[in-house]
Amino acid sequence: MKILNCPLNGPRNISEFVWGGEVKEHPALDCTDEQWVDYAVLENNTAGVVREWWYHVPTAYWIIAERNTVTDEIIRTYPARELFKDRVEFPAPAVKP
């Protein structure tokens, strides 16, 4: 059984979590279609240490884990707020008259 250390719930079986893929930088809201494909579809698929999203399902809690994708070693886990300090404001879409 593989254990992932949840910053909220302590050490838990990894099967309680859902993997969310690598943490990528969100492009600007007015980015081009090509930049959006780059962000939403294309992958780094890194072999080595990566920063990833993980979700603890029973408590609906998103965390970030640093994991080695070759050895499957989990190096560090922490709450997403350590990386994402500011609230992202999405402006309301302009309403056409």
Partner 1 sequence: MVFALLKYGLNRHYPRVHQFPKPRDLRPSYDVVIIGGGGHGLATAYYLARDWGITNVAVLDKGYLGGGNTARNTAIIRSNYLTPEGVRFYDESVRLYKDLSNDFDMNIMYSERGHFTLAHTDAAIRTMRWRAEVNKHFGIESELIFNDDIAKLCPQLNLSDKARYPVLGALYHVPGSIARHDAVAWGYGAGAAMRGVDIHQRTEVLSVTREGVNGTGGRVTGVLTNRGPIACKKVIQAVAGASGQVAAMVGMRLPIRTIPLQACVSQPLKPFLDKIIVSGSLHVYISQSSRGELVMGGSTDPYSLYGTRSTLDFKEGLMAHMLELFPFLGNVKILRQWAGMTDMTPDFAPIMGETQIENYYIDAGWGTWGFKATPVCGKRNAEMLATGRVPELIQGFTYRRFHDYNQLGEKGAASVGH
Residue 39 interacts with partner 1 (CB under 8 A): yes or no: no
Min separation Cβ 43 and partner 1, Å: 5
* Binding letters toward partner 1, positions 52-91, x by CB under 8 A: x----------------xxxx-------------------
Which residues, other chains included, contact 48 with Cβ-Cβ below 8 Å and sequence gap of 6+?
Answer: 68, 69, 70
For residues 18 and 20, what is the distance between their CA atoms, to the nearest angstrom?
A: 6
Min separation Cβ 48 and partner 1, Å: 9
Q: What are phi and psi of 50, to 5 degrees?
A: -130, 160
Residue 2 interacts with partner 1 (CB under 8 A): yes or no: yes
Residue 31 interacts with partner 1 (CB under 8 A): yes or no: no
DSSP letter, residue 86:
S
